[in-house]
Amino acid sequence: MLTLDGSHGEGGGQVLRTALSLAVLLRRPVSITRIRERRPKPGLQPQHLTVVRALAAVSDARVQGDALDSMEISFEPRILRGGHYRFDVGAMTGSAGSVSLLFQALLLPLARAEAASRLTLVGGTHVLWSPTVDYVTGVFLPVLREIGVDAAVTLRRRGWYPAGGGEIEAVITPGRGLRALRWETPAGPPRLAGISTVSRLPVTIAERQRQQALARIGERCLQADIAVVGDDGALGPGTSLLLTASGPGRLAGFCALGRRGLRAEAVADAAVDPLLAYLDSGAAVDDHLADQLLPFLALAPQPSVLTCPSISEHLRTVAWVVERLLPTRVSFDEGPPARVTVIPDAGGPGVPTTLDRTAS
């Protein structure tokens, strides 16, 4: 059984999610030790434990160590089974843990299952340290469609920290294989867009976020189409702003969340600043998208190349996990912009598999 050090690199839940997701796809047993060892609350927290149990459910896995605060697990998947599933991140302790991270962990294997899947996921849809559902639908999934992943997410109810209770429905239709991605130098000027959202708060907050973002972007002689959304269906209050840059050979997203005491203008600045830095870098994708795409690109039949503003510790950590589960090499050039090259079947330390890499 392959054993991975869960404290490696970024040292958070990334090792756990990526390793178990690939393990289910490959039907390969793994054990993970020292899970989140350096975090203030080490071990499996509710959102991580939900990922473990969800991946076990779709693979009929034998699992040891799946308990709150556990620092070590063993995971032996036996099958890969599409179907209808419901998972609630807050079922154990009322957590507002991220449904986006849960969805991404399930998507990788279920996109290669024999049958389609419909997922209902309950928890936090707009929470810190994870992509918002707006980012998933507006950035992550559109790029995956470019490489052959057929999945759609519908936001049923927003869930903010600490109330949680958000809900999404995801439909995943398996395909025959994945295509490589070669996004190095974007062509032409970017199209800038966004969505400014408030739940259970005055819509004027979302308007102020929008106006500040437009003013900042306008200083660069750029324009953006930013929608304003007011929502009373969430269980608790919250605000967010997502800004995207799209065009031939590029897609990136930058999200900021409001909190008590933080002015709407500061929320806007927190999204605009990385957007402008990204545009200055000349990169094709944002740093977060780079690490989210990497496991999918490792399964394509041909090499992939993409550029991002920098090589994050998350990206290095995902590459480390991928190279231990697949015969794939990932190389980095610091740039600028940073360049990521993914070479499948490159004789890396991961063992060869019989996984069909045929492009659809």
| Helical residues (DSSP H) of 132-263, grouped into ranges | 133-135, 141-146, 203-218
Q: How far apart are CA 71 and CA 86, in angstroms?
A: 26
**235: number of Cβ within 10 Å:** 17
Q: Quick one: CA dihedral 96, 166, 32, 9, positive or negative?
A: negative
Do residues 29 and 76 lie in contact, with contact meaning Cβ atoms separated by under 8 Å? yes
Q: Is 8 a catalytic residue?
A: no
Report CA-CA distances (Å) from 173 to 3, 21, 51, 82, 235: 31, 17, 20, 9, 31
Spatial CB neighbours of 216, under 8 Å, sequence gap ≥ 6: 268, 269, 272, 276
Q: How far apart are CA 173 and CA 152, in angstroms?
A: 9
Q: How far apart are CA 194 and CA 25, in angstroms?
A: 34
Distance of CA 355 to the CA centre of its chain: 23
Q: How far apart are CA 188 and CA 309, in angstroms?
A: 18
Spatial CB neighbours of 260, under 8 Å, sequence gap ≥ 6: none
* Among the listed residues 38, 101, 27, 19, the one whose alpha carbon sits nearest the alpha carbon of residue 62: 27
Do residues 108 and 295 lie in contact, with contact meaning Cβ atoms separated by under 8 Å? yes
Q: How far apart are CA 92 and CA 321, in angstroms?
A: 28
Distance of CA 25 to the CA centre of its chain: 17
| Of 48, 126, 288, 314, catalytic | 314
Angle, helices 313-325 vs 287-297, to 10°: value is 10
Catalytic residues: 314
